[in-house]
Structure 1
Amino acid sequence: MRAAVFTEPGPVDVLKIVEREMPPVGPGEVRVRIVLSAVNPTDTGTRAGRGVPDGVQPPRVPDQDGSGVVDEIGEGVTGLQPGDRVWVWDAGYGRADGTLQEYVTMPRRQVVRMNDDVPFEVGADLGIPALTAHRCLTVASDGPDRLAPGALAGRTVLVAGGAGAVGNAAIQLAKWAGATVLTTVSSKEKADLASAAGADAVINYREEDLAARVRELAPGGANVIVEVNTDNLEADIDAIAPGGNIAIYVGGKFSVPSFKAMLKNVSLDFVLTYTTTDAEKDAAVAAVAEAVNAGAFRVGEQAGLPIVRFGFEQAGDAHAAVEQHVTGKVVIEISEG
């Protein structure tokens, strides 16, 4: 089978497509024929040598997320059969074998069945973006542990960067859970995408005062803020409701206007989906799977997240596109659906 491998970290040209043996299937494992491998910023970071540390050294096959078809199941596996359409998560975290190959063998827990009418493009967009979004929406101490219809009813959620993959997922999941969703963007084109995702109101932070606009739309302020840029924290604290939560899923050093935050009893939480607890991850996977199978999670330009496709031989170009902050979800076509 073909696999894209890097033997040392570096720029995109360290990725080489090679022939490898078909991975065996042990007890409790599932082998998946990958149709689409998705590329996230942490995937390019791992390839470049600056990703999330997991103790695994090259040679490695990158990419955490993907969708495909069950090829073979191991002893003791239940709930899946060969031919089932599935999505996978954290394929390359703590393991040398991600989804940028024709077949990958994974523990049963990390292979999630999806309905036959769910496009592979949807399945490839889950994993890191959707599971990150779920944790950001549930991390508040007074929030639900697991999203479901009505779980965020009566709450206002502000999603920073609504045209990104995590932002898009947060908008769709929050709407499915019953929240009023506001979001921020930097251009008219991205505003159109965020609206297509289902946001109730879109704020162009380059042209509008964020806090003033949030207070106009939600006089009490936002109960939950999903934040991708720590430079926004001062405005976030102005915009948040008393007792509200800001969930931050981006790294970097920053300062906090702590007295303003204290006055509102604001809480800040930091989210990295790789290192959430098993219970938190299981809740996220179950909720995302339910939303997907209910038709509440979509992709494509009509859903606010354009799909940017690359062939297997263009794996390096796909990684470069993510590093260049292309708008949309980058996927690599590995095999026929």
Structure 2
Amino acid sequence: MKAAIYRRTGPAADVLSVEDVETPEPGPGQVRVRITGSGINPTDWKTRTGLTGQDPATFQIPHQDGVGVVDAVGEGVDAGRVGERVWLYLAAFGNPYGTAAEYSVVHADLAVPLPGDAPDDLGACLGVPAVTAAHCLLVRGEGREALRGRTVLVAGGAGAVGHYAIELAKHAGARVVTTVSSEEKAELARAAGADLVVNYREPGVVERIQEFTDRADRVVEVALGANLELDLALSGAGTVIAVYANEPDDPVIPTRRLMVANTSISYVLLYGVPADELRAAVAWTGDAAGAGALSPLPVTRYGLDEIVAAHEAVEQGAIGKVILTP
């Protein structure tokens, strides 16, 4: 099969290549998926550069997320899964066979059924962004049902996680406020279903949001240091600020203000989420996709041979989703 590979970390143009490699066979508990689309996330290029880990032991086919069709199963997996359309998440976590290839082999639980009428683009967009969004909304909570009638603040509503946080929260019956940095991004957030969209670069952000709601029950936060004053202005007893991304400098945490407000901060990194909580987030994502509540992001498509350009586009902050088509 053809696959994008790197054997050491570094800049995309220096370490990524497309090669013919042996097609893997699924082992016990695994499925093999013929990949029709491979979604690229920031975590993929950060891992490839070495920011989040070491060089691969042998080789690494990158990308955690993807979509495709199960074409073979290993021992202990229902043979009826052959031919099933699936979306993948965390495919390259502890596994050299990520989704930037014609085939990927993963544990069967990491290949989630995709509804028959859902487009491939949706399947390639889910994975890390949607499951992260689901976990941010569920962490320290009482389940998705508890979001009904509550108010959710989503920072960066045009980003991949922000997009799915809006759609999942609306699917659960919450009111959603989101912040963006441009009118182009505001249109994306409105299309996702946000009730109020505010450009954080304009004056009076807090006042505009407070005209809509006096507090947020849940904050899905992409930049804690930059947004902490806004988050605190909208926090109250029971507010949870779920932070899923880091910044170059660690923010100073105002413990007393958080204590007085009875507000908590929860940090979310999908790779370390407890198994039962991860299953809950995946299940909610799958249910919402099946109900037609989730939509693909705007897609920029590259061929497998364009892997370097695709990675560089994501590094440079491409809006929407970059998808590699093997």
Q: Give the TM-score normalised by the residue count of structure 1.
A: 0.92
Aligned pair partner of 1:266 in 250, 263, 267: 263
Q: 2:311 aligns with which of 298, 310, 319?
A: 319
Aligned residues: 322
Matches within 5 A, 1:107-122: 107-122=107-122
Shift in CA distance, 107/55, structure 1 to aligned 2, threshold 3 Å: farther
Q: How does 1:214-293 map to 2 (within 5 A)?
A: 214-219=209-214, 221-230=215-224, 231-252=226-247, 253-293=250-290
- Conserved 8 A contact 2:3-2:304: no
Q: Is the 1:9–1:47 Cα contact (8 Å) retained in structure 2?
A: yes
Structure 2 distance, partners of 1:154, 1:79, is 43
| Contact 2:88 2:127 (8 Å CA) reproduced | yes
Q: Contact (CA 8 Å) 1:211, 1:236: kept in 2 or not?
A: no
Q: Distance in 2 between matches of 1:59 and 1:7?
A: 5
Residue-by-residue CA offset, 1:98-148 (whole Å, 9 max, x unaligned): 1101011111111111111111111111111011101110113xx234x3x
- The equivalent residue for 2:292 is 295
Alpha-carbon offset, residue 61 of structure 1: 0.7
Cα pair 2:134 2:165 within 8 Å, conserved: yes
Please name the residue that 1:30 is paired with. Answer: 31
Q: What one-letter code is carried by the residue in structure 2 that aligns with 1:214?
A: I
The SS at the match of 1:242 is coil
Q: Which residue identity is paired with 2:202?
A: E
For residue 27 of structure 2, give the secondary structure of its aligned residue in structure 1. coil
1:8 CA drift (Å) = 1.0
The 2-side partners of 1:58 and 1:201 are apart by 48
Name the SS of the counterpart of 1:225 in structure 2: strand
User: Is the counterpart of residue 309 in structure 1 residue 310 in structure 2?
Assistant: no
Moved more, 131-140 or 53-62: 53-62
What SS does the aligned partner of 1:240 have?
Answer: coil
Equivalent residue letter for 2:312: A
Per-residue deviation at 1:165? 0.2
Residues 1:206 and 2:201 are matched in the alignment: yes
**Percent identity for Structure 1 against Structure 2:** 47
Change (3 A) 1:277 1:314: same
Structure 1 residue ranges without an equivalent (≥5): 300-304
Question: Do structure 1's residue 81 and structure 2's residue 97 form an aligned pair?
Answer: no
Residue 67 of structure 1 deviates from its aligned partner by 0.3
Provide Cα deviations, 1:74-111, integer angstroms capped at 9, x if missing partner: 22213852221101110111122211010111111111
Of the three residues 189, 192, 206, the one matched with 1:197 is: 192
Distance 1:186 1:276 in 2: 30
Match of 1:124 in 2: 124
> CA-to-partner distance for each residue in 1:240-285, whole Å, 9 max, x for gaps?
2332110101124111233322221110000001110110111111
Root mean square deviation of aligned Cα: 1.5
Q: Separation in 2 of the partners of 1:243 and 1:75?
A: 46
Match of 1:46 in 2: 47
8 A Cα contact 1:210 1:239, kept in partner: no
1:324 to partner: Cα distance = 0.1
Deviations 1:206-231 (A, max 9, x none): 11433222221112x01100000121
Q: d(CA) in 2 for partners of 1:245 and 1:209?
A: 23
In structure 2, C-alpha distance between the alignment counterparts of 1:152 and 1:77, rounded to whole Å: 35
- Distance in 1, matches of 2:213 and 2:279, equals 32
Secondary structure at 1:319's aligned position in 2?
Answer: helix
* Distance 1:10-1:93 versus aligned 2 partners, 3 A rule: same
- Is the 1:243–1:265 contact (alpha carbons within 8 Å) kept by the matching residues of 2? yes
- Deviates most, 206-215 or 95-104: 206-215
The TM-score, its normalising length taken from structure 2, stands at 0.95
For residue 160 of structure 2, what is the amino acid of its counterpart? A
Give 3-state SS (helix, strand or coil) of 1:27's partner.
coil
Residue matched to 1:332: 324
Q: Is the 8 A contact 2:130 2:164 kept in 1?
A: yes
Structure 2, unaligned stretches of length 5 or more? none
CA contact (8 A) 2:9 2:54 kept: no
Aligned mates of 1:36, 1:320 — CA distance in 2: 18
In structure 2, the partner of 1:12 is 12
C-alpha distance 260-46 of structure 1, shift in aligned 2 (>3 A): same
